[in-house]
Every structure is written in C-alpha cells, then in structure tokens.
A and B are shown apart, each in its own frame.
Chain A
Amino acid sequence: MSSRDEILARVRRNQPEARPLPAVPMFDGRVQSPLEVFRAGLLRMGGKFVELPDDGSPERLIRGLFPDAKVICSAVPEVAGNRSLDQVRAPAELHDVDVGVVRAVFGVAETGSVWLSEAQFRVSALGFLSQHLVVLLDPGSIVENLHHAYRHPGFSEARYAVLMTGPSATADIEGVLIHGAQGIRSMTVIPVPA
C-alpha cells in the first residue's frame, strides 16, 4: 500500500464522529471611515502613509522620499523609475533595487494590510528584495476586515497572493523591534485613485 493510501485509510478509520461546519459571520458594519482605520492600522505596524502633494506626481514624491535611491524599479504606469521589469530573467537580478513601486488591489482597514499578487509585482521578489517598497492604493478599495478580504476571488485565481502589513520586522532578540529583518526596510502607502 502506498504511503498516501495508508495515511488516508488510517485517518478515515480514526476520524471521530462527524461535527458540523459553522457559518462564519462577516462581523462588519462597525467602521465609519475605512481609510482612517486603515491608516491607523498601517502606522501601528510600522508602515508609512503619505498623501500626494498638490502637483499629483507620485514619481516626484518618491524621489523626494528617497533622495539617495539609485535604483527605482516600478511595476506601475504612474511611476517610470529607472529599472525596467521587462528584461528580468531571474528574480535575483533585483538584488540592487533600492525602491520598488507597486499598486495594491485592495486594502484591509482592520489590519492596515494591502493585497498584492504576482500580477501586481510582475516579479514577486520585488516586494522582498527591494530595500523599500512604495504601494499605491486606491482609497476607495479598502474593505472593512479580514472576513471581507478573504472573500476576494484573487485568492483562488492568483498563483501567489500576499497581505503585506508594514515592513519586514523581527523582535527575535530580547523583544527589540527591528524593521528590515530580511525583506523591505520600509513600506510607504500612497493613496492614489486607480
């Protein structure tokens, strides 16, 4: 008997008496201003939230936020950057990116998270090899909580989907909070209508 069949047979033999699957409520209707709750959640998790200046140019804003950045790699049409994703053959080629720029599909107010998949990153490693990540988010796309987030069809369509909430972080040594453990050192969300 194969391992598969042996395990399944033993599981079937040993399963306790069937118990019902409960329906999960949405626990919603409590958030007045999704954008405000989102912003507070993001800040709490170490993220940054920066409004577009009057000139409305995300490109200029990003240059101003990261004056020392040599390599800016953008996956969005609003920002040109200076490194194209078109020629990337292996993800490791993005090792020297200072600032990656992406657009999230939606945000989650409860946690301050943004939802991204391989389609938004174009090269998924962009969200983790970059030193800093800038995320454009349509303020009208923020859902109330994770129950709503997990109803999004993207989870069953994307090869890879991620809820990112602020930068890479660790508190593994004496509980001291460090931003930029392995992945991005900072995450900046800019509200830009899609």
Chain B
Amino acid sequence: MKPIDHAEASSKFIEAKDHLDFHDRRLWDLRKKRDRETESLPEWEELRALASAIKEHTLTHLADYLEQFEANAIRNGAIVHWARDAAEHNQTVCEILGSHGARTLVKAKSMLTDECDMRPFLETRGIEVIETDLGERIQQLDDEPPSHIVVPAVHKLRTDVAAVFSRTLGTDPGNSDVHYLAESQRQTTRPHFLEAEAGMTGANFAIAETGSIVVCTNEGNADLSVHLPKLYIASVGIEKLLPRIEHLGVFVRMLSRNALGSPITQITSHFRAPRPGTEMHIVLVDNGRSERLGMADFWYSLKCIRCGACMNTCPVYRRSGGLSYGATYSGPIGVIIDPTFNLRKYSALPFASTLNGSCTNVCPVKINIHEQIYKWRQVIAERQQLPFVKKEAMQIAGKVLSSPKLYRAAVEAAGAGAEYLPRFMLYNRLNPWGRQREVPEAPAATFRQWYVKNRGKR
C-alpha cells in the first residue's frame, strides 16, 4: 500500500486560493466562538479535568463497563452484537438488515461507519444508504469522504454545493443561495425518512448504567432516522462508554461548546429501548481500539469525544484541508489515531504538525495530542517508516548535533546563515516545507563566537 503523501495532497488544496482562505477563516471562526463559550464558564478547566478523569477511569475499567452496558441494553430489549473489526461490523449490519428484508437505510452521521467503509459494502449488496446530515449528504452525493468530523463539507463553497446538487438532486445550477440549497436537501431527503425500512446512528456516548445510546445533532436527522422505521441500528465504538447518566452533565456541557461554540446541540437524544413493535440493535465495535488501549503512550487518544476543536485550531489542518490526510480522521486527532490503523500508510501524518500544542490546549478531555504526535515521529523513525528526505536529513542532523565540533563547524561555516544544517533539510526540492517559508535572518556572529569574545576570558 502506498503511503499517504500529505504534503503533495495539500498542495492541491493550497492552489485553490478562495477555498483555502474561506476554510482557514471558517475554522478559525469556530475556534473563536469556542473560546467565547469556554471563557464564559468559570468551571471550564474543572470540567476538563473531570472529563479527562472520568474517561481515564472508564477506559481502565472498560471490560466491566462494556459488560454492564450489554446487560442493561439486553434488559431494555435491545439486541447487542460485537464486531472485532470493520469487516465484521459491516457483515453484521448487512445481516441485521437482511433478516428484516430491509433494502433502504436512512442514517445519521457516524465517523465509525466511515471508518468501517460501510456504505460501499452495503451498496454493492443492494442496499440503498441515505446520509441525512446535510454536510454528510453533500459528501455522499459528491462521492467524497467527509473532510471534517463535525462539519463534513467545510472545504466546499456554496457554488461547489450548487454544482453537486444540480448534478445529483436536479437543483438549479445557477442558484447557490444557501437557503435554497439546504431546503432542496430537506425536501429530497424527507421521502426517504418516510419510506426507509431501517434507520441508523452512531453514538456520541453510551451509558453503562442504563444501556442508553446518546446522539447529539443539530438537524434532528438522527431522531427522524430512528423514530420512523421499525428497525434501528446503532454502531458504537467501545471507547464511547461512560459509567453513569450523571456524567453526561460534564460531557454534554462541553461537547458543542468546544465543537461549534454553542452551549448544547439543538437535539440531544437518549435512546434506551426500542418502541413497542420495533427492534433496536447495538453493534459494539473494536476495530483496533482494544489494541490501542494497550499502547502505553497512545491509549489516551481513546478519550476523544470527536468535538473537532483540535482540527479547527490547527494551522496545518486549516491550510491543508481534511481530505489531504487521506484518512477517516484528519487533523491533530487523526494524526495520532490513524497510525494505529496502518503505520506504513499513515507514516507521513505525524509530520503534518508544527507541534505548537494548541490542539492539546483546546482538547476537552486533555489528550496530550502534540506530545503524542512527537512520540509517533519517534516510533516511525525507529521502524524506518520515515519518508526518505526526512530520514536522510535527520541522520546527517543527528551526526552533526551529537558532535559539538561538527556542530560548530556547520554553524560557523554557514556565514550568511544556517546554510548547511537547516538549509539542507528545509530547502531541497523534495521537501515542500520550505516552499512557502524562509528562515529568519541569522545574526552576524554565532552565540558561541559572541560568548568566546565577550565572556570567554573569565
């Protein structure tokens, strides 16, 4: 499998200047809205500490909580399935649909089903899958994966959406009015809600104490997907567990504030049991999570509640777009999760970061994201997965930096600047880092020259 070349992919994104500027601005706007909300809550930092501790407690007792969740869900009348990996998840969903003769599925946004690549699997087996979240629907109709975990089509301008909808929904290609476009999607999706034989959601949280699935949306599409058909399937990553309902007080207070800068999602739904005459199925999915739990440096990433704040604040994400990561999860959180799925394929992603730490600062569950990014770089270097250019440069840099004599020679030899060391690393033709950047002007004398001259005699 060919590794993802994030730098190459982002260069395409950067070429479209209107898109780049809007993307950068829109996501930074979300970040500012988030700041206003979090700064208005005096207990914000206390909530972060609580959220982190609750997640760490749950993950270190996860097997017990999963068993408790399962027992309660069964008591509620739900049917619980377990899936080791994406293939088993997709097969399970397909069999549940098959056992009801269901050929149409309306679904709410779920990063897990994207992670499992479920849609094409079902479609080749004759099942029509309708994404009902507006952003996710735009992406489905354009045959693209979501580029952001909260706002899936954030990389598109209204004119792009108008082009997609005119091609697929028959809207007026010349009309890119946002109200018109959203209304067109509402009108064309509604018949699917009324007629679909099955509905599906992911889960923001799953509560061990009650066996409930909690789904947060602004559109109400999850509820329309669940309340109309006679069959409801929820796909749930095993890390979504929380011990008790009361813990939602902490997490629901934080999720939308941190994601979009609103105090709560418009519709925060708690599905505990099927309504009479219908079935509720819950598929608990591992797909690498139990392995990640055993990785001493990286298990903290399982605390993630998928708010997307780390993406909105990341200068690299904002200027390269989610699709350039070539993975279901992009941005800083993607950079530390993706390598656990496929180290070789995603070996370039931990380098798509400036290590500025902003992601860590905005994380509502205190994941040490930038430290994990750094640790992944070490893992990748050790396992020889470092891209060629970086590896060569690092080896030379390593030799130079480990020898004071060589280091001094290299720095002093530069004369007009740090010619040998950073320049070779940054400005060779193969490394895109240097294309839009220039090193700061070097002082006339190195620190050592200055030190020897001014302090050396003492």
**Which A residues are closer than 8 A to B by beta carbons?**
2-4, 6-8, 10-22, 24-25, 27, 41, 44-46, 91-92, 95, 110-113, 118, 124-125, 127-129, 145-151, 155-156, 158-176, 178, 180-184
Residues of A within 8 A of B49 (CB): 22
- Inter-chain contact B60/A159, CB cutoff 8 Å: no
- Residues of B within 8 Å of A, CB-based: how many? 93
- Residue of A6, A13, A95, A150 most packed against chain B (CB within 10 A): A150
| Distance of A161 from chain B, by nearest CB (Å) | 4
Knowing A8-B63, A124-B223 are in contact, say whether A146-B299 is a contact too (CB < 8 A). Answer: no
* Residue from A6, A12, A19 having most chain B Cβ neighbours under 10 A: A19
Among A24, A95, A145, A162: residue with most chain B CB under 10 A: A24
| Residue contacts A-B, CB under 8 angstroms, 23 given | A7-B290, A11-B238, A11-B293, A15-B293, A22-B49, A22-B53, A22-B54, A24-B247, A91-B227, A91-B228, A112-B263, A128-B224, A155-B210, A156-B210, A159-B76, A167-B266, A168-B218, A171-B260, A174-B158, A181-B218, A183-B223, A183-B224, A183-B267
Among candidates B22, B138, B252, B274, residue contacting A146 with C-beta atoms closer than 8 Å:
B252
Q: Which residues of A contact B70 (CB under 8 A)?
A: 4
- Of A7, A92, A181, which contacts B221 at CB under 8 A? A181
Interface presence of B14 (CB below 8 A)? no
Which residue of chain A has its CB nearest to the CB of B47?
Answer: A27
| A41 vs B253: C-alpha distance when bound (angstroms) | 13
Q: Are B157 and A24 in contact (CB under 8 A)?
A: no
B-side contacts of A149, CB under 8 Å:
249
B83 touches A3 (CB 8 A): yes
Choose from A11, A111, A183 the contact partner of B219 (Cβ within 8 Å).
A183
Q: Which of B84, B266, B275 contacts A3 (CB 8 A)?
A: B84
* Majority secondary structure of chain B interface residues (helix, strand, loop or mixed): helix
Q: Nearest residue in A to B26 (C-beta to C-beta)? A: A175
Determine which residue in A18, A24, A161, A172 has the highest number of CB atoms from chain B within 10 A of its CB, and name it.
Answer: A172
C-beta contact mask, B222-248 vs A, less than 8 Å → 1, else 0? 011011100000000010000101111
- Least distance between B246 CB and chain A CB atoms (Å): 5
Q: Hey, which chain B residues are within 8 Å of A19, CB to CB? A: 53, 56-57, 60
- B219/A17 in contact, CB under 8 A: no
Q: With A7-B82, A24-B249, A173-B182 known to touch, is A146 a contact of B223 (CB < 8 Å)?
A: no
Among all A-B residue pairs, the 3 with the closest Cβ atoms: A183-B220, A14-B294, A172-B135
Interface residue ranges of B38-86 to A (CB < 8 Å): 43, 46, 49-50, 53-54, 56-57, 59-63, 66-67, 70, 76, 82-84
Residues of chain A lying within 8 A (CB to CB) of residue B272: 155-156, 158-161
Contact status A7-B284, CB under 8 Å: yes
Bound CA span A161–B212, Å: 10
Tell yes or no: B371 within 8 A of A by CB: no
Which residues of B sit under 8 angstroms from A8, Cβ to Cβ?
63, 66-67
Give the distance in Å from the alpha carbon of A27 to the alpha carbon of B46 in the complex: 10
CB neighbours of B46 from chain A (8 A): 25
Residues of B close to A111: CB separation below 8 A: 263-264
Knowing A7-B82, A16-B299, the reply to whether A182 touches B224 (Cβ < 8 A) is yes
Which of B134, B209, B275 has a CB less than 8 Å from the CB of A160?
B275
A contact residues around B135 at 8 Å (CB): 170, 172-173
Q: Chain A CB within 10 Å — which of B66, B194, B243 has the most? A: B194
Q: In the bound complex, what is the Cα–Cα distance between A182 and B187 (angstroms)? A: 9
- Contact status A173-B294, CB under 8 Å: no
Q: Does B262 contact A (CB under 8 A)?
A: yes
Most chain A CB within a 10 A radius of its CB, from B84, B223, B293: B223
A150 to B266, CA, bound (A): 17
Are the C-beta atoms of B266 and A4 separated by less than 8 Å?
A: no
* Pairwise interchain contact A14-B291, C-beta atoms closer than 8 A: yes
Question: With A and B bound together, what is the CA distance between A178 and B151 in angstroms?
Answer: 14
**Interface residue B269 (Cβ < 8 Å from any Cβ of A):** yes
- Cβ distance B439 to chain A, nearest Cβ, rounded Å: 36
Is B133 interfacial (CB-CB < 8 Å)?
yes
Given contacts A15-B62, A181-B218, 12 further A-B contacts (CB under 8 A): A7-B290, A12-B63, A14-B291, A16-B299, A19-B57, A91-B227, A92-B195, A110-B253, A127-B223, A145-B253, A170-B218, A184-B220
Q: Are A165 and B265 in contact (CB under 8 A)?
A: yes
B residues 170-221 near A (Cβ < 8 Å) are 178-179, 181-183, 186, 189-190, 193-195, 209-210, 212, 218-221
Using CB atoms, name the residue of chain A closest to B253. A146
A115 and B65 CA atoms in complex are apart in Å by 27
Give, as a whole number of angstroms, the nearest-CB distance from B22 to chain A. Answer: 7
